Amino acid sequence: MYKMKYFHQEMRKIEKQLYKMGLATKMQMERVPTALFSKDEKHAIQLISEDETIDRFDQKVHTDVLNLIMLQPPLPHELRILTSMMRVARELERMGDQIVNIAEIAKERPTDPKTQYNSEKVEQAVREMNHISLEMMSHALSMMKEKDYQDYDALEQQDERVDALFYTTQKQLSTEMKQDPLRIDSLAPFFLVARYQERIADHVVNIVRKLKESQEEGVVYGLDSD
């Protein structure tokens, strides 16, 4: 009985780590526009350095899960929970990687006004993609905490909005680069920025889908912020 109680206590600790990891990832997402569009590269450099926090969370979750499995062979439903934990942590870690990719692009962008060409339409679209992704992440964290994934379809609809903005941004970039070839070097990186932003939204959907599927299999699982 003692071992079982300890096992479940340790599972709850891992759940709390995952929730904190989600909050840390959301904070990184909030700083993406400043890092990308600010003329001061320190914002991008700071964002890159903060990815170490996300990586440490990921490593700790995986280590703690494996240690728990070694301590006591889990029951089938417990194993599904632990597997979901590791998958959610990996999705969050990949979100951090996408944010770093955007920050790396921001750091390498030209700062000389003579060579730095901006597009108001592209910037607006990228900011909107980030804004929707943040709303999705907030919604996902709320669903994790409440153990209620009934709004999953609404999350997918938000993801479709991000997808639409991604394709619109691609077309806008192509149009502007054809109109003024001198802007190609400055605008081309935004093809990748839009792609990374679109993938961030996909990861949010993946996280909630994994938790929803676990619950549908009869597993009552959510993340606790207490």
Q: Quote the mean pLDDT of the chain.
A: 89
The whole domain housing 142 covers: 2-216
pLDDT at res. 221: 45
What is the amino acid identity at position 88?
V
Nearest-angstrom CA–CA distance, 209 and 216:
10
Least confident interval from 131-135, 140-144, 145-149: 145-149
Of 226 and 186, the one with more pLDDT: 186
Q: Residues 170-225: pLDDT tens digits?
A: 999 999 999 999 888 889 999 999 999 999 999 999 999 988 887 776 554 444 44
Q: Is 226 a member of any domain?
A: no
With a pLDDT cut of 90, the percent of the chain lying above it is: 65
In a domain, 195, yes or no: yes
pLDDT in tens, 77-100: 888 888 989 999 999 999 999 999
Q: Is 70 within a domain?
A: yes
Max Cα-Cα span within the chain: 72
By C-alpha distance, which of 99, 102, 134, 101 is closest to 37?
102
State both tokens at 49: 């350095």
| Residue 214: Cβ within 10 Å count | 22
Q: Is residue 222 part of a domain?
A: no
The tally of domains found in the chain comes to 1
User: What's the rounded Cα separation, in Å, for the pair 30 and 196?
Assistant: 15
CB 57 within 8 A of CB 94: no
Of the listed ranges 3-12, 49-58, 217-226, the one predicted with least confidence = 217-226
How confident is the model over 23-51, as a mean pLDDT? 94
pLDDT, position 226 = 43
At 133 the pLDDT is 98
What is the per-residue pLDDT for 214? Answer: 76
pLDDT tens digit string along 105-130?
Answer: 999 876 655 555 578 999 999 999 99
Residue 93 lies in a domain: yes
- Find the distance separating the first CA and the last CA of the chain, reported in whole Å: 25
User: How many Cα neighbours within 13 Å face the side chain of 218?
Assistant: 4
162: in domain: yes
* CATH code (residue 77): 1.20.58.220
Query: Do 162 and 129 meet the contact criterion of CB atoms below 8 Å apart?
Result: yes
> Is residue 92 situated within a structural domain?
yes
Tell whether 47 is covered by a domain.
yes
Residue 146's pLDDT is 85
Distance CA 175, CA 105 (A): 21
